[in-house]
C-alpha cells in the first residue's frame, strides 16, 4: 500500500532504540526524509546508519535532550535547514517509571512529567507553525495502556501518560482546522532495550528468546510485539491514508487492556 509519505519530513524523538528507531525505519522505507533525536550521539548515529542500511533513504541524526528547550529548538531548526519544514512528528521520548505512590517524591514527579509530557508540548509547539505553513501535518504521541487503565504501583508513568492522551485530544480539536491530525498509540509490551532489561531481570536464568516468551504469556495474543509492528502503525497514522483519523488513542497491546 502506498502511504503517500514520499518526500515528507519527519522528526522522531527518542529515535535511537526500540519503538522510535522502528518508526523511523518505517517512515524512511516509505520515502520520508527522517530525522531522529536522542541524547547519546554515538547510539543515535548508529541507529541512523542501521536505518539507512536497511533500505531507508535520508536519515539525519541530531543529538538533543528533549528536556532542554535550547537543545530541542536547535534540533528542530537543524532539521528544517537540512530537509525543509517538518510535517510529521512522533513524540516518543520517555522511559518507564513505576512505583507505589508513597515512594514517588516531588522530584520524581517533576522529572517524569518533564520528559514525557512537557517534552512533547515543547516539540509540538516548535513544529506546529511549520505544519501550518506547509498546509497540514501529523502528530503521533506515544503513550501506554496504563494511561487508560492505571494500576497499583504505576506512578508516575500512568499519570504522565494519561496527560499525554488528554493533550492528544485537545490538540486534535484545536488543530483540525489546519489539517493537522493528532493521535496517540497506547503501547503494551513491545520489544525494546528497556523491556529487554525487564525480561532479563524477571527471568535471569533463561535465554532471551525464552524470557520474551515468558513475558508474553499473559498477553491474549501470547507474545510480546516486535518494534517493527508498532512502527508500521505509526507510519500509517503519519500517512495520507489516515487523512480522516484524528483524536484517537489506539491500544497496541495484543489485547491486554481491559478498556477500549
Q: How many CA atoms lie within 13 A of 66 on its CB side?
A: 30
Q: Measured in whole angstroms, how far is the alpha carbon of residue 100 from the centre of its chain?
A: 25
Q: What is the mean pLDDT of residues 83-87?
A: 98
CA dist., res. 86 & res. 32, Å (int)? 11
Q: Work out the mean pLDDT of the chain and round it to a whole number.
A: 96
The domains of the chain are located at 9-190+225-252
pTM of the model: 0.97
Average pLDDT over residues 216-234: 98
pLDDT given at position 199: 94
pLDDT higher than 90, residue 23: yes
133 pLDDT band, cuts 50/70/90, is very high
Q: What's the order of all strands across the beta sheet hosting 180-187? A: 59-61, 33-37, 9-13, 88-91, 137-144, 180-187, 249-252
Please determine, for residue 20, whether its predicted confidence score (pLDDT) is greater than 90.
yes
Q: Please report the pLDDT score of residue 1 as a whole number.
A: 77
The domain 9-190+225-252: what is its CATH number?
A: 3.40.50.720
Task: Please report the pLDDT score of residue 207 as a whole number.
Answer: 96
Residue 95 has pLDDT above 90, yes or no: no
Segment among 87-91, 130-134, 196-200 with least mean pLDDT: 196-200
pLDDT in tens, 24-35: 999 999 999 999
Q: How confident is the model at residue 42 (pLDDT cuts 50, 70, 90)?
A: very high
Asked if pLDDT for residue 54 goes beyond 90, the answer is no
Q: Is the pLDDT of residue 58 over 90?
A: no
Amino acid at each position: 500500500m502506498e502511504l503517500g509519505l514520499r518526500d515528507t519530513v519527519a522528526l522522531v524523538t527518542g529515535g535511537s532504540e526500540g519503538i522510535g528507531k522502528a518508526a523511523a525505519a518505517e517512515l524512511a522505507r516509505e520515502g520520508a526524509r527522517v530525522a531522529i533525536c536522542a541524547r547519546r550521539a554515538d547510539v543515535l548515529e548508529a541507529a541512523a546508519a542501521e536505518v539507512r542500511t536497511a533500505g531507508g533513504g535520508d536519515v539525519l541524526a541530531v543529538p538533543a535532550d528533549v528536556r532542554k528547550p535550547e537543545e530541542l529548538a536547535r534540533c528542530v531548526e537543524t532539521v528544517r535547514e537540512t530537509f525543509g519544514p517538518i510535517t510529521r512528528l512522533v513524540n516518543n521520548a520517555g522511559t518507564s517509571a513505576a512505583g507505589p505512590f508513597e515512594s514517588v517524591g516531588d522530584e520524581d514527579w517533576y522529572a517524569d512529567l518533564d520528559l514525557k509530557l512537557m517534552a512533547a508540548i515543547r516539540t509540538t509547539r516548535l513544529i506546529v507553525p511549520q505544519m501550518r505553513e506547509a498546509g497540514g501535518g501529523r502528530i503521533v504521541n506515544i503513550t501506554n495502556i496504563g494511561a487508560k487503565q492505571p494500576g497499583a504501583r504505576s506512578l508516575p508513568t500512568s499519570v504522565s501518560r494519561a496527560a499525554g492522551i488528554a493533550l492528544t485530544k485537545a490538540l486534535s480539536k484545536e488543530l483540525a482546522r489546519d489539517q493537522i491530525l493528532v493521535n496517540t498509540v497506547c503501547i503494551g509490551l513491545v520489544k525494546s532495550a528497556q523491556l529487554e532489561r525487564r525480561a532479563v531481570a524477571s527471568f535471569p536464568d533463561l535465554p532471551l528468546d525464552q524470557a520474551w516468551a515468558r513475558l508474553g504469556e499473559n498477553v491474549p495474543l501470547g507474545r510480546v510485539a516486535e518494534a517493527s509492528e508498532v512502527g508500521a502503525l505509526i507510519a500509517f497514522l503519519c500517512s495520507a491514508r489516515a487523512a480522516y483519523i484524528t483524536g484517537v488513542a489506539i491500544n497496541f497491546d495484543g489485547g491486554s487492556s481491559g478498556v477500549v
